[in-house]
Amino acid sequence: MPPGKEFVRTVIKYDGTKAELRRGLLAVRSALTTDDVAAAGEALARRALELPELAEAGAVAAYVSVGREPGTRALLEALRRRGVRVLLPVLLEDNDLDWAAYEGPDRLARAGRGLLEPDGLRLGPEAVTAADAVLLPGLAVDARGMRLGRGGGSYDRVLARLDRAGATPSLVVLLYDSEVIAEVPAEGHDRPVDAVVTPGGVRRFSR
C-alpha cells in the first residue's frame, strides 16, 4: 500500500455488550506472538508519523504499551528524537491519570496492573490539556470513530477534562488492522476520535 493511503479493514464483528466485545477482542490479541507485536509496533510508528498532527506537534500525550497491546515504544522514541514533548500517564488510586514527561526507556518504572510509568516529576492531571495530540489506548474503533476502551474509565476522565478546559487536541487511537470494526456499542458520554492508525494505514473521522 502506498504511504499515506487511508486504510480500513472490517474483520471482526460482534453483537452484544461492550464486555462481550472486549472479551472477543482480547482473545484475538492473546494469540499474537511477540514477533507479531514487535512488527506491528514498528509499522505503527511509521504510519503514525504520517499524521501531521503528530509529526508537527509540540507536545503529545501518549502511553507505554504493555503485553499484546499495539506497540507504542518505537513511536515514543521517534517523537522524542524529533524534539516532541511526550507526556505519559501515571495511574492514580481513583483511576484518574496524572502525567509526567517521557525521558527515555531507561526512565520507565514498573507500576501496578503491569503498567510502565515515567519516574520523573508529576505534572498534575491538568497537564494533558496542553497536548496538541492525545494517543488513546483502545480495543476497537468503528466507522463513526467511536472507540472501545478497556472499561476502566481513566480516559473518559481525560476526555472530560479536555472538554472542561476547552482544549481541542487531535484524538488518535492505535490499533491492529482487524480492530477497525463495523460498530462499537456507544453510550452518551462516549466521543469519537479524529483518526485511527493501524499497521496498514490511517483513517480519519469527522467530529
80-113 pLDDT, tens per residue? Answer: 999 999 999 999 999 999 999 999 999 999 998 8
Annotated binding site: 18-22, 64, 69, 147-155
* Residue 190 domain-assigned (yes or no): yes
Residue 122 has pLDDT above 70, yes or no: yes
Annotated binding site for ATP: 18-22, 147-155
The region of weakest confidence among 24-28, 49-53, 135-139, 187-191 is: 187-191
* Residue 11 domain-assigned (yes or no): no
Domain containing 123 equals 18-201
Specify the pLDDT at position 10.
39
Q: What is the CATH number of the domain that holds 153?
A: 3.40.50.10420
Tell me the sheet residues that pair with 197. 174, 202
Annotated binding site for substrate: 64, 69
> How far apart are the C-alpha atoms of 196 and 203, rounded to whole Å?
5
* Residue 96 domain-assigned (yes or no): yes
Specify the pLDDT at position 11.
44
* Residue 61 domain-assigned (yes or no): yes
* Residue 178 domain-assigned (yes or no): yes
> Among 54, 33, 70, which Cα is nearest to 177's?
70
* Residue 12 domain-assigned (yes or no): no
Q: 186 versus 195: which is more confidently predicted?
A: 195
Tell me how many domains the chain contains.
1
- Average pLDDT of the chain is 90
The region of weakest confidence among 31-35, 57-61, 180-184, 187-191 is: 187-191
- Give me the mean pLDDT over the 167-196 stretch: 92
DSSP category for residue 49: T
Residue 6 has pLDDT above 50, yes or no: no
Specify the pLDDT at position 41.
95
**C-alpha distances out from residue 38 to 44, 74, 75, Å:** 10, 9, 12
* Residue 30 domain-assigned (yes or no): yes
* Residue 123 domain-assigned (yes or no): yes
Residue 154 has pLDDT above 60, yes or no: yes
- Reported confidence tier of residue 55, pLDDT bands at 50, 70, 90: confident
* The model's pTM: 0.90
